Amino acid sequence: MQNICNIAIIIARKGSRRIKNKNIINFFGKPIIYYSIYQAKKTKIFDKIIISTDSKKIKRIAEKYGAISYGLRPKKMSQDCISTIDVISYELKNLLKRKIKPVNICCIYPAAPLISHKDIKIAYKMIKNNNFNYVFSAGAHQSFSANSFKKIGNKNKIKLLFNSKQRENIKTMDKVYYDAAQFYWGKYSAWIKKKRIFSESSAFVEVKRHRLQDINTYEDLTFAKKLFKIT
């Protein structure tokens, strides 16, 4: 068994529903996945940076920038219904066949150009020195409305998410946070047993607002480019 402490696994499937080729789309002259690989390398804490993909093209690009591959991920492990935990668990089982069993694994998303090596390192220290299953990046909601609602039907009718008593309590609530969709450190046992990431056994690193933008639409991509210019 190889003595390996930390690995990064960048999960980058070929399919993307709203942005074609999202994981390798041009972002200031480089494929967007470059930034995830670059920041992972900049931490200098990973024994291996692995690309997990079902695409030969993505594999080739990732390898060009310093990631390594142990073969393409099968199509059945690259469908919409397959979760991040499913993919990492699958990749770890494959590594175990190669007698590779890391202690801590950082799942990094490929379309996260605002990711910072500093946050990855802070989260690493947290998971290394504490009994957390996972440590991930998160942002704080700038405002959280007691009058939040969802749409019903096609006439924009609303349904309030909180009753009157709940709305009163919300006014005195502490900060509310959300997943930044950048990276997830996890212990080997947590990933392999498919334990939930978002639970009371997890912790987070707070990311500043100017480095927060999940990219799911072209509008998100445009805003991410604006933020990237000021980071």
The predicted pLDDT at position 97 comes to 94
Cα 202 from chain centroid (whole Å) = 14
The predicted pLDDT at position 146 comes to 79
Pull the structure tokens for residue 40: 């992972």
The predicted pLDDT at position 23 comes to 97
Q: Which residues of the chain have pLDDT under 70?
A: none
pTM for this entry: 0.91
Pull the structure tokens for residue 74: 């099968």
The predicted pLDDT at position 167 comes to 79
The predicted pLDDT at position 204 comes to 97
The predicted pLDDT at position 79 comes to 87
The answer to whether the CB of 203 falls within 8 A of the CB of 126 is yes
The predicted pLDDT at position 33 comes to 98
Domain boundaries in the chain? 6-141+176-230
Q: State pLDDT tens for residues 180-216.
A: 999 999 999 999 999 999 999 999 999 999 999 999 9
Can you tell me which residue has the tokens 């492990």?
Answer: 77
Pull the structure tokens for residue 81: 């219904």
The predicted pLDDT at position 173 comes to 72
Name every residue whose Cβ is closer than 8 Å to that of residue 64 and which is 6 or more positions away in sequence. Answer: none
Name every residue whose Cβ is closer than 8 Å to that of residue 79 and which is 6 or more positions away in sequence. Answer: 15
Scored b (16 or more CB within 10 A) or e, 43-79 reads bebbebbbbbbbbeebbebbeebebebeebbeeebbe
Q: What is the CA radius of gyration of the chain?
A: 19
The predicted pLDDT at position 28 comes to 97
CA distance 115 to 202: 20
CATH of 6-141+176-230, one of 2.40.160.20, 3.90.650.10, 3.90.550.10, 3.20.20.70: 3.90.550.10
The predicted pLDDT at position 73 comes to 94
